[in-house]
Amino acid sequence: MSDRKPRPYSRKQALQNAAFLAELERTGNARDAARTTGLNRSMLTKRRNADPDFAQRWEAALTLAAARLAKPEQTEGPARVVRSKGRLQLRVSKTRTIDRDAEQRFLAALSATANVRLSAAAAGFAHSSFYARARSHPGFAREMRVALAVGSERLELALLESSLPEANVHDHWQHNDPPPIPAMTVHQAMQMIAWNDKRAKGLANPDLAPKRGESNAAFIERKAKDYRAGLLLAEEEMRMVEYAQLEWRRGGRRTQWEPGGWEVALEMALRKG
């Protein structure tokens, strides 16, 4: 038996697999699922034989389909991986849980607002649900960090644009009589300047100094932990950049396999037929 791992899928191939597995979980018939999604069944079978992970997801989809067909009233919710008594297992519940669509709505809103609570409300769930999902799904945690970074950058660009002299956003006060400066001594003015400078430094880097009551050893351990976490995040970001460059060289573009794409293509084909 070979120990060689299967070659990573391209984004298009990964989306094809997801579309097929979603249809397989719904119907429990691999041939019909391949036909509905417009994929070649022999191609999917070769992927299953070469990839143990895809094979496991295939078998899990068949099991979930059988459970739904046997007792549809007890298996309404989407499947999710949970830890029970120290081991992982796949579960389906009747309670409303975060599915892929809700996850994508949350991430899209987060990339526009950089506000977790507001984005969670837009997706229809509590913000604590998405924090819990990030703790148990490293992939979702990564996308949440990326969406937050994108949202922060977009808001920063909007803020910079509004700060241009030509923007006329914040200059309404110039057309009014200026209010009088409150009376203060030179000592009071110097104290206010020093306090504002200290507050600005604390806001820029709140972890620059030890926290109140924190020992020197605990401070060093905390800084070392933050440094190791930073290295892991930097490595993950580098891999994401490398993968994006690889997809670009492959001629990556939006296809019918993007989320929601193949369903739209199928509907259009049925209308033409």
Mean pLDDT, the chain, as a whole number?
Answer: 75
| Greater model confidence, 103 or 71 | 103
Q: How far apart, in whole angstroms, are the C-alpha atoms of residue 230 and residue 234?
A: 6
C-alpha 269, offset from chain centre: 32
The per-residue pLDDT for 1 is 44
The per-residue pLDDT for 193 is 78
76 Cβ neighbours under 8 A, 6+ residues apart: 92, 94
- Which range scores top for mean pLDDT: 74-88, 132-146, 177-191? 132-146
Q: How far apart, in whole angstroms, are the C-alpha atoms of residue 108 and residue 96?
A: 20
**Residue 253 pLDDT greater than 70, yes or no:** no
**pTM for this one?**
0.46
CA angle 68, 74, 75 (to 5 degrees): 45
The per-residue pLDDT for 43 is 93
**Element of type H or E holding 81:** strand 79-84
130, with CB counted inside 10 A (0-12, 13-18, 19+), is buried
- Which range scores top for mean pLDDT: 58-62, 130-134, 163-167? 130-134
For every residue of 34-66, which 3-state class applies, written as one string?
A: HHHHCCCHHHHHHHHHHCHHHHHHHHHHHHHHH
Find tokens 């009747």 and name the residue: 94
Mean pLDDT is lowest, of 18-22, 160-164, 185-189, for: 160-164
**C-beta neighbour count of 213 within 10 angstroms:** 6
Provide φ and ψ at 115, rounded to 5°: -125, 110
Q: Do residues 107 and 100 make contact, with C-beta atoms less than 8 angstroms apart?
A: no
pLDDT > 90: what percent of the chain? 7
The length of the chain in residues reads 273
Q: Do residues 247 and 15 make contact, with C-beta atoms less than 8 angstroms apart?
A: no
Q: How far apart, in whole angstroms, are the C-alpha atoms of residue 22 and residue 12?
A: 15
| Greater model confidence, 254 or 33 | 33
**Residue 197 pLDDT greater than 70, yes or no:** yes
Q: Do residues 169 and 175 make contact, with C-beta atoms less than 8 angstroms apart?
A: no
Look up residue 214 and give its DSSP letter.
-
The per-residue pLDDT for 44 is 93
Q: How far apart, in whole angstroms, are the C-alpha atoms of residue 128 and residue 117?
A: 9
Q: How far apart, in whole angstroms, are the C-alpha atoms of residue 75 and residue 222?
A: 45
CA-closest candidate to residue 33, choices 16, 12, 50: 16
**Residue 208 pLDDT greater than 70, yes or no:** no
